């Protein structure tokens, strides 16, 4: 299952959620399920004294697109989104385990990431192959490939977390829509991902997932570390 955490280094209530995400990644507490986590840093805290170096308007937009389907009035941090169709706030943390167990019961299609290799002519470009089983859902699905940093540490100098040393896991750097899976069909495609300067293969993880078009529920996900 996919656990997305919308967070910010400028938000004083976010560090505890960052720790929880790291524990989910490390300890995998739901028997029989793989928790694939992504830390998505939003931008709307960037004007409050500290610009989060990992924030992106793309992740802010992704969170905003979730709010109406999830029944939320507006975006907030920290926010956990489970499999694209459940939202949990830190104030209702007891609901997180229930949400994870509920997500475990939902059938997923296998997603595979294979043949990961740098482009011989351009080491900053990563080649990989993504494939899925047939989509049994009533809706078409979009296929995404994410690049995330395994581990990020930050010394926050200003803002609500000024003076704190923060640690993050699976920090999303880019999210690319690479194709679609029509209902009843499968997906198989070679994909190229352009890495950022100085990104080391040892430091990243690749996540591929299929999600109902219109940012709906997750139908399958996979994670690989090159």
Q: Which two tokens stand for residue 92?
A: 């209702």
Question: Can you give the residue range of the structural domain that contains 27?
Answer: 2-224
Query: Which pTM does this prediction carry?
Result: 0.96
Q: What is the DSSP letter of 14?
A: H
How far does the chain reach from its first CA to its final CA, in angstroms?
A: 20
Residue 94 CA to its chain's centroid (Å): 21
Total domain count, the chain: 1
CATH number at residue 163: 2.60.40.1930
pLDDT at 201 over 90: no
Instruction: Characterise 217 by phi-psi region: left (phi > 0), alpha (psi -120 to 50), beta (else).
Output: beta
Q: Which helix (H) or strand (E) holds 103?
A: helix 94-105
**Percent of the chain scoring above 70 in pLDDT:** 100
Residue 18 CA to its chain's centroid (Å): 13
Q: Encode pLDDT of 97-150 as tens digits.
A: 999 999 999 999 999 999 999 988 887 899 999 999 999 988 999 999 999 999
């Amino acid at each position: 299952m996919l656990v997305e955490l919308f967070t910010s280094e400028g938000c004083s209530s976010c560090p505890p959620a960052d720790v929880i995400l790291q524990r989910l990644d490390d300890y995998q507490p739901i028997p029989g399920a793989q928790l694939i986590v992504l830390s998505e840093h939003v931008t709307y805290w960037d004007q409050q004294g500290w610009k989060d170096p990992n924030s992106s308007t793309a992740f802010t937009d992704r969170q905003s697109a979730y709010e109406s389907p999830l029944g939320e009035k507006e975006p907030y941090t920290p926010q956990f989104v489970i499999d694209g169709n459940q939202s949990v706030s830190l104030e209702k943390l007891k609901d997180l385990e229930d949400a994870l167990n509920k997500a475990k019961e939902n059938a997923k299609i296998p997603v595979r990431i294979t043949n990961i290799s740098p482009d011989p002519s351009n080491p900053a470009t990563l080649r990989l192959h993504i494939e899925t089983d047939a989509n049994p859902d009533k809706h078409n699905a979009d296929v995404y490939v994410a690049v995330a940093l395994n581990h990020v540490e930050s010394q926050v100098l200003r803002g609500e977390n000024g003076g704190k040393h923060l640690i993050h896991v699976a920090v999303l750097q880019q999210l690319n829509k690479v194709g679609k899976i029509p209902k009843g069909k499968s997906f198989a495609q070679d994909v190229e991902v352009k890495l950022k300067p100085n990104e080391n293969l040892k430091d990243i993880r690749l996540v591929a997932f299929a999600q109902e078009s219109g940012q709906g529920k997750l139908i399958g996900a996979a994670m690989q570390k090159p």
